[in-house]
Amino acid sequence: MSSPKKLSPPEIVARQLEDFYELRRQIVKILTPLNSYAEPSAAEYRELLDALQENLGEMEDAARQLHQFYRDAEDRLERVLKASSSVWTRPTGLKPAKIPQFTPIANRPTAPGGGKTRIVSFINLKGGVGKTTLTANLVAAFASGNFRDLDGRANRPARVLVVDLDFQGTLSQRCAEPLVLQGAYQKGLTATKLLDTRAEAKVAFDELTVPFLGLPNARLIPADESLDDKDVRRLNELASRRLETRFYHRIWFHKPEIFEKYDFIFFDCPPRLTASSVGALVASDSVFMPTAPESFDVNAVNRTMNWLGKTRKNLNLSVQFGGAILNRTNNEKGLTPLEEKNKNRIKLTCDDYRSFFEESREASARSAVLDAFVPRRSGANYINGTDGGALPGATLPCFHRLATEIYRRICQ
């Protein structure tokens, strides 16, 4: 006869809750006159109360076990995160001649708008700051011409490609037509392919892009759950030194035919370290960190900046820190005193890591936090277009200001 299965703390709590609710049903049944005209005896009351007391004691024990279970799980997760972080930031073992080349901006062919293509990553290792919504609306701002050039003149709509690198696919599901997106998923034409070489992927670059809702000048490379499996596999291969997996996005995007097709390429990175987010950073010219001016979000800035600085230094990257972007502020016309205080905390934290970035004199003179911000109640904090129309970033003044400031920082 096999021994009974040992229950985990969550299963113990669930079992105790079932017992508790069964006892509760019995008590309610006795105390409801419609169910019994006979007055319950003192012995029946005592028996039920004793059973309930025993059950509550067992639930308290189970709750303590559950608390310890999750504490242990958090400790294990923290160790895994530290291990993966060290893997992603360690120097490459490739000889310089074997590293896929980063094409300097000056050496790129002319983009559709007459300038040079800029590749930008938006990343924050803390979730819940509205990064994806902000990125999608910035796509709308640039693709609709809702920004000004270095001389303050109105810009014509830019050609923009945005790449969804989060396996949850929120940006993809909100910014692509459902049937088109379903077709891409069925054919496996997603950002997962970007973690293969072009020869391994066996697809042309253009096959990976789909139209961006309401914006004829914008395209999207969608993501789905297959990206999570591929990210983990690439991490394992890098950790075991079987394969250098951090340069795939550079292979895909640093090509003359891509530069000739898009003015801007935006990477919407997940709030965690993955092969895709590291690959995006390796391929980018600039990285911006969307955050909210709230205590919990401010406290998380250090982790993201530390990782960015170490990765740039150890992999000898060219990526520059564009700045932190304040999202979800309370007022449209200015910051509250508490938000100003948190903005200053963010600036000081970012400044501590700017030595990792070889900034130009103009860049080093700029604040680490952008002046433009996105208010919570402006209508900008949603990602769906209206009846298939463009996102609010295409017209809202707050995104006009933000897109203009970003343009000046990355194109100056």
Mean of pLDDT over the chain: 85
Place 152 in a pLDDT band, splitting at 50, 70 and 90. confident
Q: Determine, yes or no, domain membership for 88.
A: no
pLDDT of residue 153: 87
* Cα-Cα-Cα-Cα dihedral sign, residues 148, 154, 159, 165: positive
Q: Determine, yes or no, domain membership for 89.
A: no
Residue 93, Cβ density class (10 Å: 0-12 exposed, 13-18 middle, ≥19 buried): exposed
Place 386 in a pLDDT band, splitting at 50, 70 and 90. very low
Same domain as 345, residue 234: yes
Q: Determine, yes or no, domain membership for 98.
A: no
Q: Which of 23, 57, 74 is the last residue of a domain?
A: 74
Residue 34, pLDDT above cutoff 50: no
CATH of the domain at 162: 3.40.50.300
Q: Determine, yes or no, domain membership for 166.
A: yes
Encode pLDDT of 293-304 as tens digits.
988 888 889 999
Same domain as 63, residue 115: no
Encode pLDDT of 167-203 as tens digits.
999 999 989 999 999 999 999 999 999 999 888 999 9
pLDDT of residue 376: 83
Q: Determine, yes or no, domain membership for 382.
A: yes
Same domain as 150, residue 15: no
pLDDT of residue 19: 65
Encode pLDDT of 279-292 as tens digits.
999 999 999 999 99
Residue 60, Cβ density class (10 Å: 0-12 exposed, 13-18 middle, ≥19 buried): exposed
Strand partners, 214: none
Place 23 in a pLDDT band, splitting at 50, 70 and 90. low
Q: Determine, yes or no, domain membership for 25.
A: yes
pLDDT of residue 35: 45
Same domain as 181, residue 60: no
Same domain as 145, residue 52: no
pLDDT of residue 86: 76
Question: Which residue segment(s) compose the domain that 374 sits in?
Answer: 103-411
pLDDT of residue 385: 46
Same domain as 269, residue 212: yes
90 vs 358, more confident: 90
Same domain as 286, residue 140: yes
Same domain as 284, residue 179: yes
Same domain as 374, residue 280: yes
Phi and psi for 354 in degrees, rounded to 5? -70, -15
State which of 2-6, 19-23, 44-48, 142-146 shows the largest mean pLDDT: 142-146
- Return the closest-CA partner of residue 256 out of 117, 52, 153: 117
45 vs 77, more confident: 45
pLDDT of residue 258: 97
Same domain as 195, residue 67: no
Tell me whether strands 210-212 and 215-221 are parallel, antiparallel or unpaired: antiparallel
| Token pair 């796509």: residue | 139
Same domain as 273, residue 177: yes
Q: Which two tokens stand for residue 310?
A: 């170490």
Mean pLDDT along residues 34-62:
66
Place 379 in a pLDDT band, splitting at 50, 70 and 90. low
Number of domains comprising the chain: 2
Residue 380, pLDDT above cutoff 80: no
Q: What kind and span of H or E run contains 310?
A: helix 301-314
Encode pLDDT of 232-255 as tens digits.
899 888 888 888 989 999 999 999
